Structure 1
């Protein structure tokens, strides 16, 4: 069995690869400015209010909704027609993702169960698609197609889990009326979809209204992006002309080259004090995040896929072996975007938030370097 690769997947892979490299640059720039003499001015800028929300909130609750809309559109396509449409093909990355979720969360809870930081269990469960594919792309043509598909499918399933985590565990103070209005708009869009209405503008305008009520409901506003994605028509027969395909194609580059870089600039503006840094990295929440990402991710992904194949639940593609599966598992420890996003929802204490962000950056860097070195060694040995 060798997985095939679709045209839209290639486009997605290319945009995520370049976008991942841009994220690295924006992170370095943000850290540099935050720790320069302009640092205080730079950080305060993101706390300025516009229309009742700070710039930081507009980015994390507004722009990131568009990011989640793209994730939803990708999930919709993968489930209906892509790499996850065949249950047998989807089982391997599904089990890999499941192991990569449970083991890191378990490691985190070993250090933090019963403490004020136990709510951060979702942080090491996340994988950043852009960064992971960006590192994988550095290995060039020797990367098997099936490995690209496996990592992408695993990260997409990972994102779905993150969305569910946010909806279930990181929702506070429900305002029922606003939530019901948001749900009503979603149901109405589903009905319009079933009636065959394909006017993309109508769906987007309705999605903005749904976002407003979701923002003021207590459920995180980004969930509205995912709901909107599944309400937008997907046409099997005229795939490239369907509203879902058109919007997904349009959003790839703005998300990769504008929205995620802005997210990085806003959320990695961290003051680094050597004394505070050393202290924050030995806290229980930091140890849980670091070990969850660096150790838990590869172990969880490898063990779960290995057992699922040995139990004959699914098959390992012909052009893959267990060494490269473990290498991809290491890349799965690159949390970054999603991990930082969950950090902002899990913690209120600014000191803990900054410490967690630093731990995520360091851990993700280590996972990226180790994953690249491991795969470079064993992929080179096969070619």
Structure 2
């Protein structure tokens, strides 16, 4: 959020500088700068464009590439893995394009002005999120995901419109080369190529091919980003990285360092590594430079007055400032009322309307389409003024609607709950440690999760540090992506009926990759349980209700994955290594006492 708010500040500064420069005595130097030719040649081939085109057709490809990476990650391992969460933002996004286009066409039904309809369909994702960080709720993580999903739909349509409607005559050879590049990207992802350099090289080839084909290059950025794989870290890769790091610690030599760096890099997906590398440069450099090159409109000589009476200007203002919130609000409300889906937890309709208003900041995408849509300099100037005016008005409307939602509707934070919905109950919860301990650590776990506290050793280290000062509580959250997790949770509860929950808990994590029914039966025998009773309990409805109650409490407490920890009754956000959890537990109690560091063997189990 700091990056997004900082980017928004730079965008505003770039717009102000561009307008001041274009309307100063040195305005010709502004035009001369962006018309300067820049050539890159290798032998007899190469590219030659003016700076304006290098920015719009080159740097902006990086912007759309980052958006594509974010979408792929959300679809693969993020909030959008549950496809039901896509329905409401999908409908809202489509309505948030159709209504603005309808308003624009109502004011500009014919002539060259008609070509500007594409300027009202897109949303500037970076600007929207940056402004929301400034005028929105203090915590807006859920609204951010909703709006990101919605604006990605806008961007996909906008980029498709740019690539198809506003492209030049198409070149078959360039199209074929671009298609081959896309196939290569898909094959690399399927083959599990984990180094970033091959992807970057193919994307550059794709960009050049797209330029040669006549399609606008932004489509290459978006599509290529969608093809770069995003994966959750695998336990084997993390363990390999840890082993390599230990080897370097014991033998700090260049070869060992290279091996350690390679295994550390491989543990994180190439998608996330590219996002990490490109997010800040895109926000702090690419988008502000684009604004500087495109927002400089000369308002002298009556241009501003003419724009204030232009249907093009007001068509864009009406489409973005009115059409976006109306379309998004109606789309979201209608899809929820029809039972097609629901708003994200923590997001109200007041937030949705306010976010819809901020979606009227079309800035980057709209200016790009304006530059492509109009041959007439006058229409291009009028449309650009409309985009700039819409950005200001949309910000003000969004700020007012956020204030209304907070003060009148009571919709303040647009985030997941942070408080444990069901307090710890020693009569039903599984507690390790002194029931009266002054510190409580609650973990929602999945027995197939290789990163849960018992699997990584975090729980043992934290308990050893605090000794009798800590009680450690576990609850179940079997994830859909783990086919054996629910059965394993039931097995632990069946063992609990014979007083052996923690023994089964430890054994299941030691064998987290061997959780078939036959394996669980074998573990029961290994622990000396009455196997027949264990099997009968495994089918008991009361045990299933116990697990489902844990799952319901996780949902109500804002838990979305495992492991998730609560320090007392507050959800822990951030790293969950032993050091971080110990620090959070100490902070929750105040100044550290002298009781810590007792042996874990003293804990009551």
TM-score greater than 0.5 by the shorter chain = yes
Cα distance change on mapping 1:101 and 1:191 into 2, 3 Å: same
Measured after TM superposition, the shift of residue 264 of structure 1 is 0.5
Structure with larger RCO (C-alpha < 8 A, sep 6+) = 1
Alignment of 1:68-217 (within 5 A): 68-139=64-135, 142-217=138-213
Contact 2:146 2:344 in 1 (8 A): no
Q: Which residue of 2 aligns with 1:347?
A: 374
Q: Secondary structure at the match of 1:241?
A: coil
Distance 2:206 2:373 in 1: 24
Is structure 2 residue 69 aligned with structure 1 residue 42? no
Structure 1 spans left out of the alignment, 5+ residues: 1-12
Cα distance change on mapping 1:85 and 1:281 into 2, 3 Å: farther
Say which is worse superposed, 363-372 or 233-242, in terms of deviation: 233-242
Aligned residue pairs total: 371
Q: Which residue of 2 aligns with 1:284?
A: 311
Distance 1:55 1:19 in 2: 22
Choose which of 29, 32, 41 in structure 1 pairs with 2:20.
32
Cα distance change on mapping 1:329 and 1:264 into 2, 3 Å: same
Distance 1:351 1:27 in 2: 19
Say which is worse superposed, 234-243 or 218-227, in terms of deviation: 234-243
Say which is worse superposed, 255-264 or 188-197, in terms of deviation: 188-197
Contact 1:21 1:131 in 2 (8 A): no
Is structure 2 residue 296 aligned with structure 1 residue 245? no
Is structure 2 residue 336 aligned with structure 1 residue 309? yes
Q: Secondary structure at the match of 1:354?
A: helix
Distance 1:296 1:364 in 2: 13
Distance 2:178 2:92 in 1: 34
Cα distance change on mapping 1:222 and 1:317 into 2, 3 Å: closer
Contact 1:26 1:264 in 2 (8 A): yes
Contact 1:142 1:379 in 2 (8 A): no
Contact 2:103 2:319 in 1 (8 A): yes
Q: Secondary structure at the match of 2:131?
A: helix
**Aligned-residue CA RMSD in angstroms?**
1.8
Contact 2:21 2:30 in 1 (8 A): yes
Distance 2:333 2:222 in 1: 31
Distance 1:274 1:91 in 2: 49
Q: Which residue of 2 aligns with 1:19?
A: 7
Say which is worse superposed, 126-135 or 139-148, in terms of deviation: 139-148
Contact 2:163 2:219 in 1 (8 A): yes
Measured after TM superposition, the shift of residue 15 of structure 1 is 2.1
Q: Which residue of 2 aligns with 1:66?
A: 62
Distance 2:344 2:208 in 1: 44
Q: Which residue of 2 aligns with 1:270?
A: 297
Distance 2:183 2:288 in 1: 33
- CA deviations over 1:172-194 (Å, ceiling 9, x no partner): 20011111112112212322332
Q: Secondary structure at the match of 1:273?
A: coil
Distance 2:167 2:126 in 1: 26
Contact 2:169 2:214 in 1 (8 A): yes
- CA deviations over 1:347-379 (Å, ceiling 9, x no partner): 122221111111100111011112112212321
Q: Secondary structure at the match of 2:197?
A: helix
Distance 1:372 1:72 in 2: 28
Q: Which residue of 1 aligns with 2:534?
A: none
Say which is worse superposed, 118-127 or 149-158, in terms of deviation: 149-158
Is structure 2 residue 372 aligned with structure 1 residue 376? no
Q: Which residue of 1 aligns with 2:393?
A: 366
Q: Secondary structure at the match of 1:138?
A: helix
Structure 2 spans left out of the alignment, 5+ residues: 40-47, 235-265, 413-605
Contact 2:105 2:117 in 1 (8 A): yes
Say which is worse superposed, 155-164 or 258-267, in terms of deviation: 155-164
Measured after TM superposition, the shift of residue 151 of structure 1 is 2.1
Distance 1:335 1:210 in 2: 26
Is structure 2 residue 220 aligned with structure 1 residue 224? yes
Q: Which has the larger strand fraction? A: 2
Contact 2:136 2:402 in 1 (8 A): no
Q: Which residue of 2 aligns with 1:322?
A: 349
Q: Secondary structure at the match of 1:53?
A: strand
- CA deviations over 1:201-226 (Å, ceiling 9, x no partner): 12212221221121111111122222
Q: Secondary structure at the match of 2:375?
A: coil
Distance 1:141 1:309 in 2: 23
Query: Which of these two proteins has the greater Rg computed from alpha carbons?
Result: 2
Q: Secondary structure at the match of 1:216?
A: helix
Q: Which residue of 1 aligns with 2:557?
A: none
Q: Which residue of 1 aligns with 2:491?
A: none
Distance 1:68 1:295 in 2: 26
Measured after TM superposition, the shift of residue 155 of structure 1 is 1.7
